[in-house]
């Protein structure tokens, strides 16, 4: 929910704000844009930056997520229905925007940057909504990153298919690991380890 903040600036602070050229806007709007600029330039706030954009694009991300699961309702293995030309074109496009990198003849892996950001977003999204399953969280992370890496140039259909391709090929393993870890922790809380008797030493 939006929050209205009231800030009092000294004369010199207000003059400095008016002279700031790196962001646009007037008064409160300029302060808000300065905050967003600050968040985007501090590595420690990278998670917050993505969370901010995820909230702003919530409807778009959730629509594509529904489209992803709709594809699985038709078949358990959507990629098996795609022809080789389509898959090769997707690989080429994803390499171009640094989502994938080529490591050999017809061999690809996620780029280090994509993989690192994916793991951060998977954790954040799964933590934001405890009711969201791990695989949906992985899809949301992939969808957001595809949007970010392509600077909005990919169509929703391409993002849907690329999310399926990337998750099936590489990223669902992280969702599976998270699911197993959560189940382990839940079991551990339900059945705490019994105290093992200490053997007597004669």
110 sits in which H/E element: strand 107-110
Give the model's pLDDT for residue 24: 83
| Distance from C-alpha of 132 to C-alpha of 121, rounded to nearest angstrom | 14
* Co-location of 26 and 105 in the same domain: no
Residue from 132, 149, 123, 135 nearest 53 by CA: 149
- What was the pLDDT predicted at 26? 82
Asked if 54 and 152 sit in the same domain, the reply is: yes
DSSP 193: P
For the chain, 202 residues long, the average pLDDT of each consecutive 10-residue run is 78 80 80 77 78 93 97 94 95 96 93 96 91 95 96 94 97 94 78 54 46
Instruction: Verify that 27 and 96 share a domain, yes or no.
Output: no
Whether 138 and 109 share a structural domain: yes
H-helix segments, 57-171: 58-74, 84-96, 112-128, 134-149, 156-166
pLDDT recorded at residue 202: 42
Q: Dihedral, CA atoms, 80, 82, 87, 88, nearest 10 degrees?
A: 120
Q: Are residues 155 and 85 in the same domain?
A: yes
Same domain, 51 and 19: no
Residue 1's pLDDT is 65
pTM, full prediction: 0.79
Q: Do 34 and 79 belong to one domain? A: no
What is the tally of structural domains in the chain? Answer: 2
The answer to whether position 52 is within a domain reads yes
Looking at the fold, whether 61 and 147 belong to one and the same domain comes out as: yes
From CA 93, how far away is CA 155, in angstroms rounded?
A: 12
Residues of the domain holding 114: 47-189
């Amino acid at each position: 929910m939006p929050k209205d903040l009231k800030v009092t600036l000294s004369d010199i602070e207000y003059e400095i704000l008016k002279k700031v050229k790196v962001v646009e806007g007037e008064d409160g709007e300029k302060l808000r844009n300065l905050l967003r600029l600050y968040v985007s330039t501090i590595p420690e706030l990278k998670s917050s930056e993505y969370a901010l954009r995820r909230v702003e694009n919530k409807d778009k991300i959730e629509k594509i997520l529904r489209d992803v699961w709709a594809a699985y309702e038709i078949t358990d293995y959507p990629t098996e229905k795609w022809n080789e030309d389509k898959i090769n074109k997707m690989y080429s496009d994803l390499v171009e925007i640094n989502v994938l990198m080529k490591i050999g003849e017809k061999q690809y892996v996620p780029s280090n940057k994509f993989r690192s950001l994916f793991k951060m977003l998977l954790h954040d999204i799964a933590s934001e909504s405890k009711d969201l399953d791990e695989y949906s969280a992985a899809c949301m992370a992939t969808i957001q990153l595809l949007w970010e890496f392509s600077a909005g140039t990919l169509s929703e259909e391409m993002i849907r298919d690329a999310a399926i391709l990337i998750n099936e090929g590489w990223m669902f393993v992280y969702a599976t690991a998270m699911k197993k870890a959560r189940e382990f922790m839940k079991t551990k809380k339900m059945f705490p380890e019994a105290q093992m008797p200490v053997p007597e030493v004669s």
